[in-house]
Amino acid sequence: MGDSMRTITAISSACLCLVLAACSPGVDKTVAQTNDLVLVTLTGMPGDTDVFSMAKQFPNTAYQMSQTSDSVTWNFSQNGTEACRFTAKITPKDARSSRVTTSLEDVSSGGERYLCNVVKIVGEESVSAALDGRAADKAKVQDQLKRYLISDFGAMTESVSKRMDEMAPPRGEDCPGLSGERLDACNTAAAIRRQNHEKTQAELDKRGMGR
C-alpha cells in the first residue's frame, strides 16, 4: 500500500510539472539568427506573440522591458516596487545562429512566488512564440495559469493577502503632528492609498478572490 501511494504521488508530481511551465527549466532554443536579429525579434514582438500582459493578475501590477547587447529583460513590479525579472539571454553559437535561454529572478523583499511563476509561464510562451515566428498559444497559457492556481493555491492567497495589506485604508492617526505642506502631502498620499484599496478590493471581488 505504501509503495503504491508513493508511486501515485511521484506520478502526480511528474505530471503536474509536465503541464506547468512554472516547473520547467526555461526556454533553451537555438535559432538561425545572429544576436542582433534575435534582439530585434524579442524587443519587437507583435501583439499576437506577446502575452506578458496576461501576468497582470492583480491591480497595480506593471512591467517594462529593457535590453543589453546580449539580453532582454522584462521587469515586473507591484505597487511601484520591483518584484520579478524574466530574462532572455542570447549567446552566439556561430556566425549565423544563436542560443536563447530564459531565467526568472524573484527580487521582491518578501517573496512573490505566485506572481513570478505566472510571469515565467507567460514569458516562456512569449519568447518561444517570437523565436518560432508564430502567434502565442493563449489557450495553452490560460490552461497553465488555471492549473498553477489549483496546484499552488496557497501562493495565490498569500499574494492576495499581501496586496490587501499593502492597500489597506490609512488610519486617522497616520498623519499625526504634521502641518502645512507636509500634512497636505500626507493626506494626498492617504487618499491615493484609499482609492487603490477600493480598486484592489473591487477587482479581487470580481475575480472571486476577495477576503
Residue 25 grid coordinates: 527549466
Nearest to 115 by CA among 145, 140, 72: 145
> In whole numbers, what is the pLDDT of the chain averaged over residues?
78
Percent of the chain residues topping a pLDDT of 90: 46
Per-residue DSSP letter, 168: P
Residue 115 grid coordinates: 506572481
Q: Using one digit for the tens of pLDDT, what is the confidence trace for 80-110? A: 889 999 999 999 999 999 999 999 999 987 7
pTM over cut 0.75: no
Percent of the chain residues topping a pLDDT of 70: 61
pLDDT of 66 above 60: yes
